[in-house]
A and B are shown apart, each in its own frame.
Chain A
Amino acid sequence: MDTWTFGWTLALIGMAGTMLVLWCLSLLILLLKKLFPYQPEESASPKG
């Protein structure tokens, strides 16, 4: 593989791949927050 094919391939897939993975992670975070919503009592200090 010549240098420029290597460079452009790695740069384009790298940028797109990083963006895609992080976008999917943001969706996963939203999903987690939907599945396990914050309960106000979580912040209450334990008694006793």
Chain B
Amino acid sequence: MESALISGLQGLLLGVTHLGVGHVIMILIASLLLYLGISKGYEPLLLVPIGFGAILVNIPLAEMMGDDGFLRYFYNAGVRTEVFPLLIFLGIGAMTDFQPLLENPKIILLGAAGQFGIFLTLLLALALGFDKLDAVAVAIIGACDGPTAIYVSSKFAPHLLAAVSVAAYSYMSLVPLIQPPIMRFLTTEKERKIAMGVVREPVSKTTKILFPIVVTIFASILAPKGAPLIGTVMLGNLMKESGVVDRLKRAAENEIANIVTLLLGLCIGATMEADQFLQAQTLLVLGLGFIAISLDTVVGVLFGKLMCLLTAGKINPLIGAAGISAFPMAARVVQVEGQKYNKKNYLLMPAMSANAGGQIGSVIAAAVMLSVLQGMGIVGG
């Protein structure tokens, strides 16, 4: 009886005796993510499940990511198969209004310039010794688009998924802090004061309905490997604009998006096991992610300056900073910055056009990247 009691008590202490320094550090990091999400409101929909998933996976002996662990089940079903980020894209498409972009289509080019940070960071990552596909996964943080980053990193570098996802979502929420100093550094006060007339060119319903279909066909033929990304965003948008499948649209933007966001967040957190996450490489990924988003802003603003030059000063270069995928946060940053220098300047609408361009741009950049990788024989067909 006595020995049974001692064995029982020992069983209760097994978790404590197996608790390592790495577990404690990871639980502290997870708590920080929870704090940022709950108290600071930084991407709470993702940071809360990520933080909690990270706590769960770092409980010794709980084996949440073991072969029979419940988090492993969701990870295999949704992340390894790449289904979760695609379902999130469906919801994003159903929520996104591309009207500002359709009203002012030339602004879409800013959405391309805003992705250049991806490719410049790729070169930096290679210079720092990352192998080819790891460098691609790190660089994609520059898409400033969580689901794209998760899709690409889970495909090519699943061991970097946690670091890439945490970096992508953290920096996206920090866009209002990261962008303004770069915008001010690269523009003159005269440029920042440029007032842009509001282009309100109504768009027919037929155009809005045909847009997602045409984009899917055209972009997927050019970059077939990106068809899942493009197709799901555009299917969601078609459901929104067609107006005939309101139940499906509401399901995509509410129930599906909510359930998948929860499970995806938990799964990302579940990849933050101490022995995998606490490495020098994680710090490098976080640093490169910051550089990627900064470079997006730099190139976007410089491209804005070029457009300003070519249009004889009709375009305020600040809107170039909105050519990233953080929607509508980047557009709001541009509006706030513009009004600091010209109280009568309303840059929100053109910035929203650039921001919608950035949303499409991030998906197209990833699709182009995947197809070029296939063409180069780096990944299979």
Contacts and interface: CB of A to CB of B under 8 A. Distances in A.
A36 B207 contact: yes
A45 interface: no
A43 B132 CA distance: 52
B323 to A, nearest CB: 10
B205 A42 contact: yes
Contacts of A25: 105, 108, 215, 218-219, 360, 364
A10 B123 CA distance: 9
B119 interface: yes
Contacts of A11: 119-120, 122-123
Interface of A: 1, 3-4, 6-15, 17-19, 21-26, 28-30, 32-33, 36-39, 42-43
A18 B112 contact: yes
B204 A42 contact: yes
A13 B205 CA distance: 35
Contact of A9 (B214, B223, B376): B376
A12 B376 CA distance: 13
A18 to B, nearest CB: 5
27 contacts: A3-B132, A7-B123, A10-B119, A10-B369, A10-B376, A11-B120, A14-B118, A14-B369, A15-B115, A15-B116, A15-B119, A18-B365, A22-B108, A22-B111, A25-B360, A26-B108, A29-B211, A30-B105, A32-B210, A32-B214, A33-B201, A36-B206, A37-B204, A38-B201, A38-B202, A39-B204, A42-B205
Among A9, A28, A42, the most chain B Cβ lie within 10 Å of the Cβ of: A28
B25 interface: no
A25 B361 CA distance: 10
A11 to B, nearest CB: 4
Contacts of A3: 126, 132
B109 A21 contact: no
The number of chain B residues touching the other chain, given as a range, is 35 or more
Contacts of B368: 13-14, 17-18, 21
A22 B122 contact: no
Contacts of A24: 218
B266 to A, nearest CB: 32
Given A18-B112, A23-B109, A38 B214 contact: no
Contacts of A7: 122-123, 126, 135
Interface of A is mostly: helix
Interface string B116-156: 10111011001000001001100000000000000000000
Contacts of B204: 33, 36-39, 42
Nearest 5 pairs of A and B residues by beta carbon? A36-B206, A11-B119, A29-B105, A38-B202, A17-B368
Nearest to B323: A22
A33 B376 contact: no
A30 B101 CA distance: 11
Contacts of B93: none
A7 B357 CA distance: 25
Given A10-B376, A13-B372, A26-B108, 20 more contacts: A6-B126, A6-B378, A7-B123, A7-B135, A8-B123, A10-B119, A10-B369, A12-B119, A15-B116, A21-B112, A22-B109, A22-B357, A22-B364, A23-B109, A25-B364, A28-B215, A32-B210, A33-B201, A38-B201, A42-B205
Contacts of B218: 21, 24-25, 28
B314 interface: no
Contact of A36 (B111, B210, B361): B210
